Structure 1
Amino acid sequence: MAVRAFEGKDHAAAYLQYRVAPDELIHRIMSYMQNQAPNRFSLALDVGCGSGQGTIPLAPHFTKVVGTDVSPAQLEMALTNENPPNVSYRECPAEKLPFASGEVDLVAAMTAAHWFDREKFLLEADRVLRPGGCLALLSYTLDMELEYGDVSTTLNDICEELYAALLNFRNPYLGTSSIKIYSDMFDCCSYPDKEWNECLKVKRVLPLSGYIGMVESFSSFQELVQKDPEEAERLSNATRTKLMSAMKVSSPDADVTVVVKYFYWLARKPL
């Protein structure tokens, strides 16, 4: 059974504003594909595209890129981007993609596949992929780290308190570890040509408020908002205050380096 999330307009807007475009991961995907068949590719799907952070970076590499999602609110946000002319979006579930069998060069899901009906999605991805096409699934752990001068350790202790508080609001469908979900899907993929990558650290310099915004876009934080909005606001404000104090800054606009730890796997459909 798939799970629908991130569908409220406010949540979708936060997702667009704060989520990081995984450019380094796009580079890894394209290097993997070009090692197999170094030419321009026709069609890429970004399944569970959200507001399009991973969709747009695919545009230079394909004749056509389509982002798909079940959430009208997310797709509405995606359309507010400056989308290249070869990028479009469609509303549909991940388990029923409106494309012909063997039509697609790349099926990618970026920080989304853990919400899908995993068995049905893998079968559908296999159906639409052409022989030699690539399946790419990626996500990141929620224990993002901060780097700032000589107080990084102090900042990350504060962040760990925040993550621990949100664990109680994690969707039970996800279990205790997203890495295990993706590892299990990797094991279920029958393609002999496949590779698993445990950790790729992606660093971005963001305002401290941008880091807080990213955390507030997590499904676990949004669950807390639904159950106890006052506690969600208190937790967010307290974390912001502690981080600013440790950094000795007076504004949440102060820049900090955010380290996002991605994991991903790539697989090539047999010819």
Structure 2
Amino acid sequence: MAVKLFEGKDHAAAYLQYRVAPDELISRIMSFMETRTNHFKLAVDVGCGSGQGTILLAPHFAKVVGTDISKAQLEMAQVNSNPPNVSYRHCPAEELPFASGEVDLVTAMTAAHWFDRQKFLLEADRVLRPGGCLALLSYTMDMELEFGDVSDTLNDICKEFYAALLPFRDPYIGSSSRQIYLNMLESCSYQDKEWNECFRVKNTLPLSSYIGMVQTFSSFEKLRKKDPAEAERLSDDIRNKLLSAMKASSPETEVTVVVKYFYWLASKP
């Protein structure tokens, strides 16, 4: 899946912190697997984008392959500093270039909602070996801010931001990507599976990076294409309201950004 990054190195780095699983989620995936298998030969990260999540799997598997339908994203992944056991392949999520029963872990980090979901689940089942695991994760768009004693005020302003973008969400995603993942879990035929909701991850970032993160949402991109001036006005208005509430003058003032992940894990019988 192609993802437009921020303009500017700092914003890109901030965005990539949330585009992928944090280390804590990778640890949870591995703990789930370790109680069910001793096979850690091959992990496949589907919809890998620029590979930021793919490389987090490298210490745990003999070989890790990131796949994506976007050649541009894979070019970005390949110019990064990758561990020697990490490689990338260009393919759709629904047509993985692996033999049946070859893969120990199939994961998709904040990407599965864009797939043909039923075809992807069938393809993941095909390539997974018995005892292999499927791990899908994402996060809700309603990120929260913490700053002194004005956190509630800031989050009321953030809700204005999200509400303004809601009409521009892609119909394929609908109003809640969380429901998409719940539906995919229900569609998964494996008996050994678990749902985990609202795993909160906090990071301290400049306020400008939070604004830049929201600007990467597909809904903001759709607004920007339809009405660039309105998109800029909305961003500026939200930024100024947040700064006013914080009694700060610089958008580089740091705030705590809270991202709420959800994920599910399943083991093939």
Residue 32 of structure 2 is matched in structure 1 by 32
Q: Deviations over 1:87-131 (max 9, x none)?
A: 111111000001111111100011111100011000000000011
CA contact (8 A) 1:16 1:78 kept: no
SS in 1 for 2:178: helix
Q: What CA distance in whole angstroms lies between the structure 2 residues aligned with 1:16 and 1:74?
A: 15
Q: Deviations over 1:39-92 (max 9, x none)?
A: 461111110111222111111101111111111222222223222111111111
Q: Which amino acid aligns with 1:19?
A: L
Q: What CA distance in whole angstroms lies between the structure 2 residues aligned with 1:94 and 1:17?
A: 26
CA contact (8 A) 1:15 1:51 kept: no
Q: Which amino acid aligns with 2:154?
A: L
Q: Deviations over 1:212-263 (max 9, x none)?
A: 1111111111111111111111111211121122112222222111111111
Q: Are residue 196 (structure 1) and residue 195 (structure 2) matched?
A: yes
Q: Which amino acid aligns with 1:33?
A: M
Residue 206 of structure 1 is matched in structure 2 by 205
Alignment of 1:1-271 (within 5 A): 6=3, 18-20=15-17, 21-22=20-21, 23-37=23-37, 39=38, 41-270=40-269
Q: TM-score, normalised by structure 1?
A: 0.92
After TM superposition, give the deviation of residue 16 of structure 1 in Å. 6.2
Q: Which amino acid aligns with 2:262?
A: F
Q: What CA distance in whole angstroms lies between the structure 2 residues aligned with 1:236 and 1:29?
A: 36
CA contact (8 A) 1:15 1:217 kept: no
Q: What CA distance in whole angstroms lies between the structure 2 residues aligned with 1:107 and 1:40?
A: 13
Stretch deviating more after TM superposition (115-124 or 248-257): 248-257
Uncovered stretches (5+) of structure 2, i.e. residues with no partner: none
Stretch deviating more after TM superposition (121-130 or 196-205): 196-205
After TM superposition, give the deviation of residue 15 of structure 1 in Å. 6.1
Q: What CA distance in whole angstroms lies between the structure 1 residues aligned with 2:216 and 2:53?
A: 16
Q: Which amino acid aligns with 2:99?
A: A
Q: What CA distance in whole angstroms lies between the structure 1 residues aligned with 2:106 and 2:33?
A: 12
Uncovered stretches (5+) of structure 1, i.e. residues with no partner: none
Cα 1:28/1:154, change in 2 over 3 Å: same
Q: What CA distance in whole angstroms lies between the structure 1 residues aligned with 2:202 and 2:6?
A: 26
Q: What's the % identity of the aligned pairs?
A: 72
CA contact (8 A) 2:6 2:216 kept: no
SS in 2 for 1:168: helix
Aligned length: 264
Q: What CA distance in whole angstroms lies between the structure 2 residues aligned with 1:16 and 1:45?
A: 23
Q: What CA distance in whole angstroms lies between the structure 2 residues aligned with 1:117 and 1:247?
A: 43
Cα 1:200/1:99, change in 2 over 3 Å: same
CA contact (8 A) 1:101 1:129 kept: yes
Cα 1:15/1:181, change in 2 over 3 Å: farther
Q: What CA distance in whole angstroms lies between the structure 1 residues aligned with 2:253 and 2:39?
A: 41
Stretch deviating more after TM superposition (119-128 or 246-255): 246-255
After TM superposition, give the deviation of residue 9 of structure 1 in Å. 7.8
SS in 1 for 2:202: strand
Q: Which amino acid aligns with 2:33?
A: M
After TM superposition, give the deviation of residue 19 of structure 1 in Å. 2.9
Q: Deviations over 1:152-171 (max 9, x none)?
A: 01110110000000001000
